[in-house]
Structure 1
Amino acid sequence: MNYRIAIVHDYLNQMGGAERVVGVMHKLFPDAPIYTTIVDREKLLPELRAADIRATWMQRIPNILRDYKLYFWLFPFAVRSIDLKGYDIIVSSSSAYAKGIRKPGNAVHLCYCHSPMRFAWNFDGYIENVNISKTRRTIAKWLTYPLRLWDKANSKEVDRLIANSSVVKGRISKFYGLDSTVIYPPVEIDRFSVSEDGPDDYFLIVSRLVSYKKIDIAVEACTRLGLKLLIVGDGDDRKRLEGLAGPNVQFLGRRSDEEVTSYMRHCRALLFPGLEDFGITPLEANACGRPVIAFQAGGALDTIKAGVNGMFFKEQTTESLMGALREFETREWDPGIIRKHAESFNERYFIERLLSSLQSAIDPLGSSLKHYGVEAGAHASS
């Protein structure tokens, strides 16, 4: 039996870890169309530029790519309007809406959940430092309550729920009352290598510049300690962060994958101050043999082994990070051991686990994914 497969993602208007997961899904199922609410084709990852991407009617809203956060209450309607009739398998990648697709007939829906909706379940943290009026903020918060009900209800329609980390598994249990399997996101280990030259004199951040990422902690800590910090990325919070930064902090904006890799290979360490659901970027830095200084919470608990591939700071404050930076100066790191740790999160592991979970979901249909021409070893990188 040849299965008809569709991939669904919340929105393709940025280049982050969730979008890289969609890229691997596309690599695994290259003939499957990718359905999404909106798409910014100028910001697509290279591996998605030739994909069959189908956006909803929201794409036609004026200035939607700029103002999409203000339309969060419309996304559930857009997702439910996606017509998936005729598909046997739906693989969704969701940190917000994609999980709520309308599943046709006897189709199987596997959802790879990056997190329950952050703005519905942690609205204050999500909207912090976003420049909107008090009235709009109040209305938006009021609208999160029906969103929670919708989010919880549609979770029960998913046949297989996958969490991308232990902390997300905990949130799924807390908010939805459901169990899930943890499969860590894929890291393209082969894209990275350890520099023979050793590190330069700078610390590094690679991130979207939005308030909940807590980049301000790193900016203030490095400014006060006089440590050189390079920040790769852009976002709504950039102007505020620049106002906090001393002359030793440089904002480099968006850079190509090749440039980012070069910065990672030569940094002293990657700083990871946010509470992330998982965080692929730290493992990419590890694949370059460089350690990570991370806030001791969230997905970092799954990826950082203190003293092996990085170290933690315990409180999400400037002072706590400053203490970790001072301690970092006294440590020595082995790039080879750091790289080896990262290799345990490679793409092959992700693909094999995902296929295994999907196979168990379709077993009642009485056929194997091999009939579709999909085998883990044939598509995974070593």
Structure 2
Amino acid sequence: MKIALAHHWIMSYRGGERVLEQIAELCPGSDVYVLTHDRTIDVPGVRDRKIHTSLLKHIPRIDQFYKHLLPMHPHAIRRMQVPSDVDLLISSDASLIKGIPLGPQTKHVCYCHSPPRYLWELGSDYKRASRLTSLALDRFSDGLRKFDFESAQNVDHFIANSIFVSDRIRNYYNRDSTVVYPPVDTMAFDATKAREDFDLVLSELAPYKRIDVAVEAYTKLGRRLVVIGDGSERKHLESIAGPTIEFKGRQPFDVVRKHFETCRAFVFPGIEDFGITPVEAQASGAPVVAFRAGGALETVIENETGLFFEQQTADAMIAAIEMLETVSFDPARTRQQAERFSFDEFRRQFLQTLANWGYQLPSYQNLFPSIGMVSGNFHSTVPI
């Protein structure tokens, strides 16, 4: 088969780009189609690929304004062209790239990180980012949702990154999907380091992440909380933080890894579609304190690898933090849970899911010669 790849945009190296990287490794030589691309961002799996971008590339300083130009995205995507001799397009999408035009013979498998949250359910949170974003969503949301829904109907198969997202695909697109959890570099972390007396937040400091809940809770408790990350909410969070809250901004991976491996617990107060950081924390042997919603319910085992709180309030989080003292967590068991989301596990499930639909990539037998052909009854959801 001739295979092409698509991704919403390459403007950072985060969870979505890690998925693209792993898929690209399974599809050597495939071209990549993106809305826009910051060429200073190195995504190892695609660094030697031909990357096709949309007409947005002609706009000055597009790397700063691409999200503010959301109303232009459908037009830009419609003008993109995937060659008609491509047999299979695999898209990695959390926005609108699934709407890229295809020839009649091209099949389309979409790995969906999420139906775009700013269109379907979190518009009010995203409007707080800027006045321009608020105006764009107020005026153009209906048309953008229509484009997104119609694009989803032209996808042949959906892969969801969690059961939580699979439900959202069904609710918003009326489509079924198979769950393949995203890859986490579990081998990058050591679960045997000694723990220190601080808890950790690692996050973009955006309103919907609800880091304010953690800052308020730890300020009330007078306990040490290290916050790694930056974003539009940082000034507000610093204004409500007490002296035990330490803001470190963005940090290189070595610093992040050290904090994962030595924190007493990892705190996760938001709702994420999957949430890679709780898995990284568990790979480091740290228990997770998470709000009981979203992807955390699929990656954290209550009273074994973490604890949940019921409401996004400081008092509810405080109760869970205090309960940490009464529960014994085994770092080895915590890491064992994280390994269910490793690179190898992602590749195995992804390749078997494609093979189950009749798309057997050459890398299937090269990577897993002992697996053989899969049965029609294969289901790729990881049991939790």
TM-score, reference length from structure 2: 0.90
Q: Distance in 2 between matches of 1:36 and 1:263?
A: 34
Other-structure match for 2:342: 346
Q: CA deviation at 1:284?
A: 0.9
The code of the aligned residue for 1:253 comes to G
Q: In the TM superposition, what whole-angstrom CA distance separates every residue of 1:286-331 from its partner, at most 9, and x where no partner exists?
A: 0111111111001111111101111111111222112211212322
Per the alignment, residue 89 of structure 1 pairs with: 88
Name the CA distance, whole Å, in 2 between partners of 1:362 and 1:108. Answer: 11
Q: Which residue of 2 aligns with 1:15?
A: 13
**Match 1:163 to one of 135, 154, 160:** 160
Q: Which amino acid aligns with 2:368?
A: G
Matched, 1:301 2:261: no
Question: Hey, what's the Cα distance between the residues in 2 that align with 1:178 and 1:319?
Answer: 39
Query: Matches of 1:266 and 1:45 in 2, distance apart?
Result: 28
Contact 1:108 1:361 in 2 (8 A): no
Deviates more, 1:86-95 or 1:245-254: 245-254
Give me the TM-score of the superposition, normalised by structure 1: 0.90
Partner SS, residue 275 of structure 1: coil
User: Structure 1 residue 283 and structure 2 residue 275: aligned?
Assistant: no
Q: Offset of 1:160 from its aligned partner?
A: 1.0
Farther-moved stretch of structure 1 (267-276 vs 46-55): 46-55
**SS of the residue 1:348 aligns to:** helix
Contact 1:348–1:376 (8 Å) recurs in 2: no
Match of 1:69 among 67, 78, 101: 67
Which residue of structure 2 lines up, in the alignment, with residue 106 of structure 1? Answer: 105
Does 2:284 correspond to 1:316?
no
CA contact (8 A) 2:268 2:288 kept: yes
Amino acid at match of 1:162: I
Identity rate of aligned residues, in percent?
37
Structure-1 residue corresponding to 2:146? 149
- Deviation digits for residues 179-221 of structure 1 (CA, Å, limit 9, x no counterpart): 111111111121112133x211111111122111111111111
1:120 match:
119
Structure 2: distance between partners of 1:88 and 1:44: 27
Give the equivalent residue in structure 1 for 2:26.
Answer: 28
Is residue 179 from structure 1 mapped to residue 176 from structure 2 by the alignment? yes
- SS of the residue 1:7 aligns to: strand
Q: Which moved more, 1:304-313 or 1:232-241?
A: 232-241
Partner of 2:377: none
1:283/1:373 CA distance change after superposition, 3 Å: closer
Structure 1 residue matching 2:345: 3-state secondary structure: helix
- Please report how far the alpha carbon of residue 157 of structure 1 lies from its aligned counterpart in structure 2 after TM superposition: 0.9
Q: Does 1:221 align with 2:213?
A: no
Matched, 1:333 2:325: no
RMSD over aligned Cα atoms? 2.1
Aligned partner of residue 81 in structure 2, secondary structure? coil
Q: 1:270 to 1:165 in 2, by over 3 A?
A: same
Picking from 248, 252, 255, the partner of 1:252 is 248
Cα deviation per residue 1:155-198 (whole Å; 9 max; x = unaligned)? 111111011111111111111111111111111121112133x2
Q: Matches of 1:7 and 1:126 in 2, distance apart? A: 31
Alpha carbons of structure 1 residues 206 and 82: separation in structure 2 relative to 1, 3 Å: same
Using the TM superposition, give the Cα deviation of residue 79 of structure 1 relative to its aligned residue in structure 2, in angstroms: 2.1
Cα–Cα, structure 1 residues 51 and 292, in superposed 2: closer, same or farther, change >3 Å? Answer: farther
**Is the Cα–Cα contact under 8 Å of residues 182 and 346 in structure 2 kept in the other structure?**
yes
Deviation at 1:47, TM superposition (A): 5.0
Q: Identify the range of structure 1 (64-73 vs 313-322) with the bigger mean alpha-carbon deviation.
A: 64-73
Q: Is the 8 A contact 2:70 2:136 kept in 1?
A: no
Q: 1:241 to 1:60 in 2, by over 3 A?
A: farther
Are the structure 2 counterparts of residues 374 and 25 from structure 1 closer, same or farther at C-alpha, using a change threshold of 3 Å?
farther
- Are the aligned partners of 1:118 and 1:126 in contact in 2 as well (CA < 8 Å)? no
2:109–2:157 contact (8 Å) kept in structure 1: yes
CA distance in 2, matches of 1:148, 1:80: 15
Amino acid across the alignment from 2:225 = L
State how far apart, in whole Å, the 1-side matches of 2:234 and 2:19 are: 26
Q: Is the 8 A contact 2:20 2:45 kept in 1?
A: no
